[in-house]
Chain A
Amino acid sequence: MAHAPMSVKDRKNVLSGLKVREAMRRIAVHLPESASVDEATRCAIKFKVSAILITGREYQALGVVSKTDLMCAYYAGLPLETPVSTIMRSPPLFCGMDDSLDAALDTMRSKGVHRLYVRGDDPDQAIGILAYPDIVGLLYRYCHKCEHNTLRTRKVPSIFNFSDTFKVRDVMNPSLLVFREEAILSSVMEGLSAHRIGAVLIRGRNNLPSGVVSKTDLIMAYRHGIRPTAEAATIMSSPVRSCDHNEQLVSAIQKMIFSDVHRFFVYRDNPDNIVGVLTLTDAARVRSGSCRACVSSRIRL
């Protein structure tokens, strides 16, 4: 006896049915394989991108150079004239425009990467990029429009009323990597690499927070010829951009966006008592998955 196929509702997930093409961005910048590491550092600074696609003569995607790779080149003492092909990771990881976002997220998680390149009609060329912030933005929009959005059912007049229920402490990461001002940049780079994070907190001789060294700061130091044996204090960004752990999440997000930074250090009681880190991705992720229909789709990094 034949059975009619069951109507299966496998998961209640806002990502179900969404495709990569709905979240991807066009690639803003790429470099030829003959470009120098110096050009890649300049691109990373100017375009504020975390990775640069390296292409061949026919614009085929050959590899990727990330800020981490540039930092490693600095650590290894490679001259800035070194071709990017020496340090690029190859081949780039791809997804298709019509792949599901679920599948793309699974690939990013399983491969431990923050971005996938989107294949075009030519299978060797990348026409777009899909990174966590793109998916976060998409989820945020869907959450606002979703018929299950708690806002609609409660008839709350402003999104602020709802968002304000979240505090920084609910979202922050309590893990911190701290160095002293006199630590040499090589040590800082080792720490960033080992912990797979984007920035470290710097404390002064009085043990108070005095600055931050991020991968971007290190890449700029590389370009400007500062030796890896220099002290962290010579390149750190100061003062430390921070927020109170009791601050409204929406306010912290706004400050991060205005400051054009990806992270805030979080303090309790006073700005000298740093207790965690809040990244924009973490913050936006929670805002995106606020209602019940979205909870299952929150991005796990």
Chain B
Amino acid sequence: MGLTARDVMDTRFFTLLPETTVAEAVKAFRRAGEELNRRVFGMMVTSPDGELLGMVSMYDILILMRPKHIHIWGEMHDIDVSGFMDECYLRAKSIPVGDLMTTDVITLTPDTHLLQIVDIMVRKHLRRIPVLDGGKVIGIVHISSVFFFLMER
């Protein structure tokens, strides 16, 4: 048995509940980043008993914030759009993350081989992949962990 997800996964991770609002998620991203001493770009969304339901990232939240009629107001250069982003955030902040999370999540088992993880990350353009054991989240593998583990051996 070679090196596996078990060897590179972070067992210290933070999760959100599906009913967590966007405003609360933003605070959680910030808090987790401070505790882990690195930027947190996304989090897993789990049920109260730790079952993985999906993942939500900054990208998902930015998609939600993007104005619905942007293709129209982009044509209307005579309209003043100052204050627009504040309005966008006000609308988005009460939406639960369960409404915008990605549910089509690729996961690993603790025994997934390291090179398989590299392959998945490269092919699917993934930066973080949850590790499940019996449906429950037990860790997360970050691309930086894999990268430095491989390159600094």
Chain B residues, Cβ within 8 Å of A25: 71
Which residues from 129 to 153 on chain A have a C-beta closer than 8 Å to any C-beta of chain B? 133-134, 136-138, 140-141
Q: A133–B100 contact, CB under 8 A? A: no
Question: Counting CB contacts under 8 A, is A176 at the interface?
Answer: no
Chain B nearest CB, measured from A218 CB (Å): 14
In the assembled complex, how far is the CB of residue A118 from the closest CB belonging to chain B, in whole angstroms? 15
* Shortest CB distance B78–A (Å): 4
Which of B60, B69, B78, B83 counts the most A-chain CB atoms under 10 A from its CB?
A: B69
**A280 within 8 Å of B (CB atoms):** yes
* CB proximity of A231 to chain B, nearest CB, Å: 21
The residues of A that contact B63 with a CB separation of less than 8 Å are 46-47
Counting CB contacts under 8 A, is B68 at the interface?
yes
- The reply to whether the CB of A4 lies closer than 8 angstroms to some CB of chain B is no
A260 touches B68 (CB 8 A): yes
CB 8 Å contact bits of A260-301 with B (1 = contact, 0 = none): 101000000000000000001000100000000000000000
B151 within 8 A of A: no
Contact of A46 among B60, B75, B87, B91 (CB under 8 A): B60
When C-beta atoms are compared, the residue in chain B nearest to A259 turns out to be B87
A254 and B71 contact, Cβ closer than 8 Å, known pairs A42-B100, A46-B60, A220-B99: no
- A274 smallest CB distance to B (angstroms): 23
B-side contacts of A138, CB under 8 Å = 75
A45, B96: Cα distance in complex, Å? 11
Q: Is the CB of B75 within 8 A of A141?
A: yes
Q: Are A280 and B100 in contact (CB under 8 A)?
A: no
Check if A45 sits within 8 Å of B87, measured CB to CB. no
Residues in chain A near residue B49, CB distance under 8 A: none
CB pair B99 A42 closer than 8 Å: yes
Please, which residue of chain B has its CB at the minimum distance from the CB of A143?
Answer: B75
Q: Which of B67, B78, B101 contacts A158 (CB 8 A)?
A: B78
Q: Is B73 an interface residue (CB 8 A)?
A: yes
What is the size category of the interface that chain B forms with chain A? Answer: 20 to 34
Q: Which residue of A lies closest to B61 (CB)?
A: A46
Name A45's closest neighbour in chain B (CB-CB).
Answer: B99
A124 at the interface (CB under 8 A from B): no
Residue on B nearest A41 in the bound complex, by CB:
B99
Query: Would you call B103 and A163 a contact (CB within 8 A)?
Result: no
Asked if A257 and B60 sit within 8 Å, CB to CB, the answer is no
Q: Does A253 contact B (CB under 8 A)?
A: yes
Does A250 have its Cβ within 8 Å of any Cβ on chain B? yes
Chain B residues near A257 (CB-CB < 8 A):
67, 69, 72-73, 76, 79, 81
The answer to whether B71 and A133 touch across the interface, beta carbons within 8 angstroms, is yes
The residues of B that contact A260 with a CB separation of less than 8 Å are 67-69, 87-88, 91
- Within 8 Å of chain B (Cβ to Cβ): is A159? yes
B134 beta carbon closer than 8 Å to chain A: no
Q: Is A30 part of the binding interface, using a Cβ–Cβ cutoff of 8 Å? A: no
Once the chains bind, are A140 and B76 in contact (CB under 8 Å)?
A: yes
If the complex has contacts A46-B64, A47-B63, are A133 and B72 also in contact, measured as CB distance less than 8 A? Answer: yes
User: Given A45-B100, A140-B72, A260-B68, 8 other A-B contacts at CB below 8 A?
Assistant: A39-B103, A39-B104, A42-B100, A136-B72, A158-B78, A254-B79, A257-B73, A280-B72
Interface residues of A (CB under 8 A from B): 25, 39, 42, 45-48, 133-134, 136-138, 140-141, 158-160, 163, 220, 223, 250, 253-254, 256-260, 262, 280, 284
A-B contact pairs, 6 of them (CB 8 A): A39-B103, A45-B64, A46-B63, A257-B67, A258-B84, A260-B67
